[in-house]
Amino acid sequence: MTEENIKHEQLIIIGGGPAGLTASIYGARQGVNPLVLNGPEPGGQITTTSELENYPGFPEPIGGFELTQKMTQQAQNFNVRLEFESVETVDFSDDKDRFYIKTDMNEYTAEAVIITTGAEPRTLGLDKEDKLRGNGVSYCATCDAAFFKDQPVAIVGGGDTALWEATFLAKFASKVYIIHRRDKFRGAKILGNRVKAKENIEILWDTEVKELVGDNKLQAIKVINNKTEEETVMEDVNGLFIAIGHKPRTECLDGFIETDDGGYIITDKHQRTNVDGIFAAGDVQDPDYRQVVVAAGSGAKAAIKASEYIEENSDTLSETENIPVQPIPKEKAKADEKNSDNKSKDDNLNLTLNID
């Protein structure tokens, strides 16, 4: 690609989950005309959550997908542009006045960048784990629980996710085994008490999955008690859910951004990374909370600081296309939201991200 084909932007946001969409809304309102590089699938991890009970402003639970749809609509109301492009490489050297980003379709430079690429589920690293993914092995109970109606399933992990998902699975499955490698949960006491109170949940302490049985479909699992070393084949388990934490998505950053031992981007309280002008928000820099409201809050902070950065550095930067933000009139926004509500009721699996 020649120099003329490189698109120059003020603010690029990599990732279109709650952190990225919130950053885009704030960035647009600050007048820095953000471009969201969303990857091939919109919405991030939250779209796989069936119900959120703890996002403020929604007294009734709201679906993760529906919440993303509303955030997207709100971003569209401020003329935010979303592109379904995956970032392949970057050059975030701080000796240049612009940051370079190459996607599977385009090349860009940006005055500031916000990274909101999220985190993906960790795997156990067992033979056949990858092959059986989607064929009995799942990393998302809220997505796949319904496939195991009235069947026994197992879930690995002892954190909040495993405990919450075990309770969710217990609504569908005939029996849920929680397989945890220690004799104490890591997750919140209230969630631990909840699973202990469920009649169809059984906890296998000090236990690890040793083997997945089955070629094209999970047929059983072999587990081992790590204290007694006793091995058991659980022949009734055709569904295995793995909830052992998440891995931040930072591969495309080519090592330019500092991370901690867990691979999470290190930021200060203003969401600044080690490179001036590069910010990070959401799960990619948050090993602790993994809450939508926290991700959204950090997205807002990142956008405010990124906008300030762009303004402070604007004198030193060469000509940048600065399309003024034109918030749509309130009446139109309301009408759009109403249409979107009706549409989501009719067609809840059809997230609309097209930008006029």
- Side chain identity, residue 240: L
- Is the Cβ of residue 96 or residue 182 nearer to ligand NDP in the bound state? 182
Nearest approach in angstroms of CB 181 to ligand NDP is 5
Minimum distance from residue 42 beta carbon to ligand NDP (Å): 22
Beta bridge partners of residue 108, listed in sequence order:
7, 101
Compute and round to an integer the Cα radius of gyration of the chain. Answer: 22
**Between the CA of residue 108 and those of 9, 100, 115, 193, what are the distances in Å?**
7, 6, 15, 51
DSSP state letters, 266-312: P--TT-B-SSTTEEE-GGGG-SS---HHHHHHHHHHHHHHHHHHHHH
Identified catalytic residue from 95, 127, 130, 143: 143
Q: Give CA–CA dist 43/20, Å, rounded.
A: 9
Q: Which is nearer to ligand NDP, 14 or 156 (CB)?
A: 156
Which residues partner with 119 through β-bridges? 248
- Cα separation, 329 vs 311, in Å, equals 26
Catalytic annotation, pick one of 91, 144, 276, 288: 144
In the residue annotation, 140 being an active-site residue is answered as: yes
Residue ranges that bind ligand NDP, judged by CB under 6 A: 124, 156-162, 164, 181-182, 186, 243-246, 288-290
Which CB, 39 or 159, lies closer to ligand NDP?
A: 159
CA distance 22 to 228: 50
Q: Where are the alpha helices (DSSP H) in 9-156?
A: 18-29, 64-77, 141-144
Task: Kindly tell me which of 213 and 294 has the beta carbon lying closer to ligand NDP.
Answer: 294
Least gap, CB of 191 to ligand NDP (angstroms): 8
Cα 164 to Cα 118, 143, 192, 240, 292: the distances in Å are: 20, 14, 9, 15, 16
Residue among 40 and 125 whose Cβ is closer to ligand NDP:
125
CB-nearest residue to ligand NDP = 159
C-beta closer to ligand NDP: residue 50 or 274? 50
Identified catalytic residue from 94, 140, 160, 356: 140
Q: Based on the residue annotation, tell me whether 252 is a catalytic residue of this protein.
A: no
| Shortest reach from residue 322's CB to ligand NDP, in Å | 39
Q: State in angstroms the smallest separation of the CB of 242 from ligand NDP.
A: 8
Helix, strand, or coil (residue 126): coil
Q: Least distance (Å) from ligand NDP to the CB of residue 137?
A: 14
Query: What is the DSSP-derived secondary structure letter of residue 174?
Result: S
**Hey, which residues are catalytic here?**
140, 143-144
